[in-house]
A and B are shown apart, each in its own frame.
Chain A
Amino acid sequence: MYAALWRVLPGPTAVKLVLAGALFLGVVAILFLVVFPEIEPLLPFDQITLEPEPTTSSAVG
Protein backbone atom coordinates (compact mmCIF):
# COMPACT_ATOMS: atom_id res chain seq x y z
CA MET A 1 0.00 0.00 0.00
CA TYR A 2 2.53 2.60 1.13
CA ALA A 3 5.17 1.09 -1.17
CA ALA A 4 2.83 1.62 -4.11
CA LEU A 5 2.14 5.19 -2.97
CA TRP A 6 5.89 5.84 -2.79
CA ARG A 7 6.29 4.60 -6.37
CA VAL A 8 3.49 6.86 -7.57
CA LEU A 9 5.04 10.01 -6.08
CA PRO A 10 7.10 11.82 -8.73
CA GLY A 11 10.63 13.17 -8.61
CA PRO A 12 13.82 12.26 -6.74
CA THR A 13 13.79 10.97 -3.16
CA ALA A 14 13.93 14.44 -1.61
CA VAL A 15 10.83 15.55 -3.53
CA LYS A 16 9.05 12.32 -2.67
CA LEU A 17 9.79 12.94 1.02
CA VAL A 18 8.35 16.44 0.90
CA LEU A 19 5.25 15.26 -0.98
CA ALA A 20 4.73 12.37 1.43
CA GLY A 21 5.02 14.77 4.38
CA ALA A 22 2.50 17.13 2.80
CA LEU A 23 0.09 14.26 2.17
CA PHE A 24 0.44 13.13 5.78
CA LEU A 25 -0.23 16.64 7.11
CA GLY A 26 -3.25 16.94 4.81
CA VAL A 27 -4.71 13.73 6.17
CA VAL A 28 -4.08 14.86 9.77
CA ALA A 29 -5.76 18.21 9.02
CA ILE A 30 -8.85 16.47 7.64
CA LEU A 31 -8.98 14.24 10.70
CA PHE A 32 -8.65 17.14 13.17
CA LEU A 33 -10.93 19.58 11.39
CA VAL A 34 -13.66 17.29 10.06
CA VAL A 35 -13.61 13.71 11.27
CA PHE A 36 -12.71 14.09 14.95
CA PRO A 37 -15.18 16.93 15.67
CA GLU A 38 -17.89 14.70 14.14
CA ILE A 39 -17.19 11.65 16.28
CA GLU A 40 -16.26 13.45 19.50
CA PRO A 41 -19.88 13.91 20.72
CA LEU A 42 -20.13 10.10 20.84
CA LEU A 43 -17.70 10.09 23.76
CA PRO A 44 -19.12 10.38 27.27
CA PHE A 45 -17.04 13.47 28.19
CA ASP A 46 -19.36 15.66 26.15
CA GLN A 47 -22.52 14.62 27.96
CA ILE A 48 -22.59 17.12 30.77
CA THR A 49 -26.04 18.68 30.69
CA LEU A 50 -29.37 17.41 31.92
CA GLU A 51 -32.09 16.19 29.66
CA PRO A 52 -35.52 14.78 30.41
CA GLU A 53 -36.17 11.08 29.91
CA PRO A 54 -36.20 10.36 26.18
CA THR A 55 -39.99 10.52 25.94
CA THR A 56 -39.50 14.06 24.69
CA SER A 57 -36.59 13.76 22.33
CA SER A 58 -35.80 17.49 22.35
CA ALA A 59 -32.60 16.85 24.23
CA VAL A 60 -30.56 19.72 25.58
CA GLY A 61 -27.56 17.72 24.61
Chain B
Amino acid sequence: MNQSAVVARAFARTAAELLVTGGVVVLLFAAYVVVWSDVQTAAAQVELRDDFKSQAQSADAPAPGTTATPEPLAVPPGDAMAVMRIPRLGDDWSWVVVEGVSDEQLNRGPGHFPETALPGQIGNFAVAGHRATHGEPFAHLDRMAPGDEIVVESIGVTYTYVVDTTEIVTPSDVGVLLPVPGKPDKASRKARITLVTCNPRWGSSERLIVHGHLTETVIGSEV
Protein backbone atom coordinates (compact mmCIF):
# COMPACT_ATOMS: atom_id res chain seq x y z
CA MET B 1 0.00 0.00 0.00
CA ASN B 2 1.47 3.34 -0.97
CA GLN B 3 1.62 6.46 1.15
CA SER B 4 -1.34 8.27 -0.39
CA ALA B 5 -3.63 5.29 0.16
CA VAL B 6 -2.70 5.26 3.86
CA VAL B 7 -3.44 8.97 4.17
CA ALA B 8 -6.76 8.56 2.35
CA ARG B 9 -7.72 5.71 4.64
CA ALA B 10 -6.88 7.68 7.80
CA PHE B 11 -8.85 10.65 6.48
CA ALA B 12 -11.88 8.51 5.65
CA ARG B 13 -11.78 6.84 9.05
CA THR B 14 -11.61 10.16 10.91
CA ALA B 15 -14.44 11.58 8.82
CA ALA B 16 -16.56 8.51 9.50
CA GLU B 17 -15.90 8.76 13.23
CA LEU B 18 -16.84 12.42 13.28
CA LEU B 19 -20.06 11.76 11.39
CA VAL B 20 -21.06 8.92 13.70
CA THR B 21 -20.25 11.13 16.70
CA GLY B 22 -22.42 13.91 15.27
CA GLY B 23 -25.26 11.44 14.82
CA VAL B 24 -24.98 10.29 18.42
CA VAL B 25 -25.02 13.92 19.63
CA VAL B 26 -28.19 14.60 17.63
CA LEU B 27 -29.84 11.50 19.13
CA LEU B 28 -28.79 12.60 22.61
CA PHE B 29 -30.29 16.03 21.97
CA ALA B 30 -33.55 14.41 20.88
CA ALA B 31 -33.55 12.38 24.11
CA TYR B 32 -32.86 15.57 26.05
CA VAL B 33 -35.78 17.41 24.47
CA VAL B 34 -38.33 14.60 24.54
CA VAL B 35 -37.44 12.79 27.78
CA TRP B 36 -35.06 14.78 29.95
CA SER B 37 -36.99 18.07 29.78
CA ASP B 38 -40.09 16.23 31.07
CA VAL B 39 -38.09 14.70 33.92
CA GLN B 40 -36.71 18.07 34.96
CA THR B 41 -40.11 19.75 34.82
CA ALA B 42 -41.67 16.94 36.88
CA ALA B 43 -38.97 17.41 39.52
CA ALA B 44 -39.53 21.18 39.55
CA GLN B 45 -43.29 20.64 39.93
CA VAL B 46 -42.80 18.40 42.98
CA GLU B 47 -40.69 21.13 44.57
CA LEU B 48 -43.17 23.88 43.64
CA ARG B 49 -46.11 21.88 45.01
CA ASP B 50 -44.33 21.44 48.33
CA ASP B 51 -43.63 25.18 48.42
CA PHE B 52 -47.24 25.95 47.64
CA LYS B 53 -48.54 23.57 50.30
CA SER B 54 -46.32 25.06 52.97
CA GLN B 55 -47.41 28.55 51.91
CA ALA B 56 -51.04 27.49 52.16
CA GLN B 57 -50.48 25.96 55.59
CA SER B 58 -48.63 28.95 56.94
CA ALA B 59 -51.33 31.32 55.73
CA ASP B 60 -53.95 32.09 58.35
CA ALA B 61 -56.90 29.77 57.99
CA PRO B 62 -60.07 31.77 57.46
CA ALA B 63 -62.34 31.83 60.49
CA PRO B 64 -65.28 29.45 60.14
CA GLY B 65 -68.24 31.08 58.50
CA THR B 66 -66.21 33.92 57.05
CA THR B 67 -67.22 35.12 53.64
CA ALA B 68 -64.41 37.53 52.94
CA THR B 69 -62.25 36.45 50.02
CA PRO B 70 -58.58 36.39 51.01
CA GLU B 71 -56.48 39.05 49.31
CA PRO B 72 -54.73 37.61 46.25
CA LEU B 73 -51.04 37.54 46.97
CA ALA B 74 -48.29 38.57 44.62
CA VAL B 75 -45.36 36.16 44.70
CA PRO B 76 -41.76 36.71 43.55
CA PRO B 77 -40.89 35.66 39.97
CA GLY B 78 -40.31 31.91 39.65
CA ASP B 79 -42.33 30.99 42.75
CA ALA B 80 -45.50 28.92 42.90
CA MET B 81 -48.51 31.22 42.68
CA ALA B 82 -51.50 28.89 42.18
CA VAL B 83 -52.52 25.34 41.36
CA MET B 84 -54.55 24.88 38.19
CA ARG B 85 -56.81 21.94 37.42
CA ILE B 86 -58.57 21.35 34.10
CA PRO B 87 -60.89 18.31 34.17
CA ARG B 88 -61.19 18.32 30.36
CA LEU B 89 -57.47 17.56 30.09
CA GLY B 90 -57.70 14.64 32.52
CA ASP B 91 -58.91 13.99 36.07
CA ASP B 92 -55.34 14.04 37.31
CA TRP B 93 -54.38 17.13 35.30
CA SER B 94 -53.03 19.43 37.99
CA TRP B 95 -50.18 21.90 37.54
CA VAL B 96 -48.53 24.43 39.80
CA VAL B 97 -48.49 27.80 38.05
CA VAL B 98 -45.28 29.80 38.48
CA GLU B 99 -44.96 33.57 38.44
CA GLY B 100 -43.38 34.80 35.20
CA VAL B 101 -43.07 33.72 31.58
CA SER B 102 -39.31 33.63 30.95
CA ASP B 103 -37.95 30.44 29.38
CA GLU B 104 -36.55 29.38 32.73
CA GLN B 105 -39.85 29.93 34.54
CA LEU B 106 -41.94 28.21 31.86
CA ASN B 107 -39.62 25.20 32.02
CA ARG B 108 -40.85 24.65 35.59
CA GLY B 109 -44.56 24.82 34.76
CA PRO B 110 -47.25 27.05 33.27
CA GLY B 111 -46.37 30.70 33.93
CA HIS B 112 -48.46 33.74 34.86
CA PHE B 113 -47.88 36.86 32.73
CA PRO B 114 -46.69 39.22 35.49
CA GLU B 115 -48.45 42.30 34.11
CA THR B 116 -51.87 40.62 34.11
CA ALA B 117 -54.42 40.19 36.91
CA LEU B 118 -53.99 37.72 39.76
CA PRO B 119 -56.43 34.80 40.14
CA GLY B 120 -59.93 35.99 40.97
CA GLN B 121 -59.15 39.66 40.41
CA ILE B 122 -61.03 41.89 38.02
CA GLY B 123 -59.01 41.82 34.80
CA ASN B 124 -57.40 39.02 32.87
CA PHE B 125 -55.46 36.25 34.64
CA ALA B 126 -53.22 35.13 31.75
CA VAL B 127 -51.13 31.94 31.83
CA ALA B 128 -48.76 30.51 29.20
CA GLY B 129 -47.66 26.88 29.11
CA HIS B 130 -45.65 24.48 26.99
CA ARG B 131 -47.58 22.45 24.44
CA ALA B 132 -44.64 20.16 23.65
CA THR B 133 -41.66 19.19 25.84
CA HIS B 134 -41.10 20.28 29.46
CA GLY B 135 -44.00 18.18 30.73
CA GLU B 136 -46.23 19.67 28.02
CA PRO B 137 -48.98 20.92 30.37
CA PHE B 138 -51.01 22.43 27.53
CA ALA B 139 -50.41 19.59 25.03
CA HIS B 140 -54.13 19.08 24.48
CA LEU B 141 -55.40 22.60 25.04
CA ASP B 142 -57.05 22.33 21.61
CA ARG B 143 -59.62 20.00 23.22
CA MET B 144 -61.02 22.82 25.34
CA ALA B 145 -64.57 23.81 24.44
CA PRO B 146 -66.93 26.53 25.69
CA GLY B 147 -68.36 25.51 29.07
CA ASP B 148 -65.26 23.60 30.23
CA GLU B 149 -64.06 24.40 33.71
CA ILE B 150 -60.67 25.76 34.70
CA VAL B 151 -60.14 25.51 38.46
CA VAL B 152 -57.51 27.77 40.01
CA GLU B 153 -56.55 27.28 43.63
CA SER B 154 -54.86 30.21 45.26
CA ILE B 155 -53.93 30.39 48.94
CA GLY B 156 -57.13 29.79 50.88
CA VAL B 157 -59.51 30.24 47.97
CA THR B 158 -60.59 28.28 44.91
CA TYR B 159 -61.74 30.02 41.74
CA THR B 160 -63.68 28.27 39.00
CA TYR B 161 -63.54 29.78 35.55
CA VAL B 162 -65.61 28.64 32.59
CA VAL B 163 -64.32 28.69 29.02
CA ASP B 164 -66.08 31.14 26.68
CA THR B 165 -64.09 31.01 23.46
CA THR B 166 -60.97 29.57 21.90
CA GLU B 167 -59.06 31.19 19.08
CA ILE B 168 -55.83 30.99 17.10
CA VAL B 169 -53.87 34.21 16.77
CA THR B 170 -50.49 35.43 15.53
CA PRO B 171 -47.55 35.39 17.98
CA SER B 172 -47.60 39.20 18.15
CA ASP B 173 -51.28 39.52 19.09
CA VAL B 174 -50.71 40.73 22.65
CA GLY B 175 -54.27 42.10 22.69
CA VAL B 176 -55.54 38.76 23.97
CA LEU B 177 -53.83 39.51 27.29
CA LEU B 178 -55.72 42.79 27.85
CA PRO B 179 -58.23 43.06 30.72
CA VAL B 180 -60.91 42.97 28.03
CA PRO B 181 -59.22 40.87 25.32
CA GLY B 182 -58.83 42.71 22.04
CA LYS B 183 -60.36 45.94 23.38
CA PRO B 184 -57.60 48.23 24.67
CA ASP B 185 -59.95 51.08 25.52
CA LYS B 186 -62.40 49.14 27.63
CA ALA B 187 -62.19 48.97 31.40
CA SER B 188 -62.87 45.50 32.73
CA ARG B 189 -65.67 44.73 35.14
CA LYS B 190 -65.17 40.97 35.00
CA ALA B 191 -62.56 38.51 36.23
CA ARG B 192 -61.32 36.66 33.17
CA ILE B 193 -58.76 33.96 32.45
CA THR B 194 -56.66 33.49 29.31
CA LEU B 195 -54.51 30.44 28.54
CA VAL B 196 -51.78 30.75 25.91
CA THR B 197 -49.75 28.05 24.16
CA CYS B 198 -48.13 27.46 20.79
CA ASN B 199 -49.89 26.24 17.68
CA PRO B 200 -49.36 23.91 15.89
CA ARG B 201 -48.27 21.66 18.74
CA TRP B 202 -44.63 21.26 17.68
CA GLY B 203 -44.43 24.62 15.94
CA SER B 204 -44.53 28.28 16.81
CA SER B 205 -46.12 30.04 13.86
CA GLU B 206 -49.33 30.75 15.77
CA ARG B 207 -50.69 30.83 19.31
CA LEU B 208 -53.67 28.89 20.65
CA ILE B 209 -55.73 31.01 23.04
CA VAL B 210 -58.47 29.95 25.47
CA HIS B 211 -60.60 32.66 27.11
CA GLY B 212 -62.88 32.18 30.09
CA HIS B 213 -64.53 34.07 32.93
CA LEU B 214 -64.91 33.56 36.67
CA THR B 215 -68.11 31.87 37.74
CA GLU B 216 -67.48 30.69 41.26
CA THR B 217 -65.31 31.62 44.22
CA VAL B 218 -65.08 29.20 47.13
CA ILE B 219 -63.21 30.05 50.32
CA GLY B 220 -60.75 27.29 51.16
CA SER B 221 -58.74 25.02 48.93
CA GLU B 222 -58.04 21.33 48.74
CA VAL B 223 -54.31 21.70 48.39
The answer on a CB contact under 8 Å between B131 and A51 is: no
The answer on a CB contact under 8 Å between B17 and A50 is: no
Residues of B within 8 A of A45 (CB): 33, 130-134, 198, 202, 204
Complex Cα distance, B203 from A53, in Å, reads 18
Chain A's closest residue to B177 (CB) is A50
Q: Is B211 an interface residue when CB atoms closer than 8 A count as contact?
A: no
Residues of B within 8 A of A31 (CB): 25, 28-29, 32
Residues of A within 8 A of B177 (CB): 50
The answer on a CB contact under 8 Å between A32 and B113 is: no
Chain B's closest residue to A47 (CB) is B204
A17 to chain B, nearest CB (A): 18
Interface stretch of the complex, out of B71-79, B167-175, B215-223: B167-175
Chain A's closest residue to B28 (CB) is A31
A26 to chain B, nearest CB (A): 13
Interface stretch of the complex, out of B44-52, B91-99, B101-109: B101-109
**Residue among A43, A46, A52 with max Cβ neighbours from chain B (10 Å):** A46
Give the number of chain A interface residues (Cβ < 8 Å).
23
Complex Cα distance, B200 from A44, in Å, reads 10
The answer on a CB contact under 8 Å between B204 and A49 is: no
The answer on a CB contact under 8 Å between B174 and A40 is: no
Q: Which of A28, A36, A44, A60 contacts B202 (CB 8 A)?
A: A44
The answer on a CB contact under 8 Å between B198 and A47 is: yes
The answer on a CB contact under 8 Å between A32 and B102 is: no
Complex Cα distance, B207 from A44, in Å, reads 12
Chain A's closest residue to B18 (CB) is A1
Residues of B within 8 A of A48 (CB): 106, 128-131, 138, 196-198, 204, 207
Residues of A within 8 A of B204 (CB): 44-45, 47-48
Residues of B within 8 A of A47 (CB): 171, 198, 204
B40 to chain A, nearest CB (A): 10
Residues of A within 8 A of B17 (CB): 1-2
3 closest Cβ pairs, A-B complex: A44-B204, A47-B204, A45-B132
Sample (25) of A-B pairs whose CB atoms are under 8 Å apart:
A1-B13, A1-B18, A3-B13, A31-B32, A32-B36, A36-B29, A36-B32, A36-B33, A40-B37, A45-B33, A45-B134, A45-B204, A46-B106, A46-B130, A47-B198, A48-B130, A48-B138, A48-B198, A49-B111, A49-B128, A50-B128, A50-B172, A50-B174, A52-B172, A61-B102
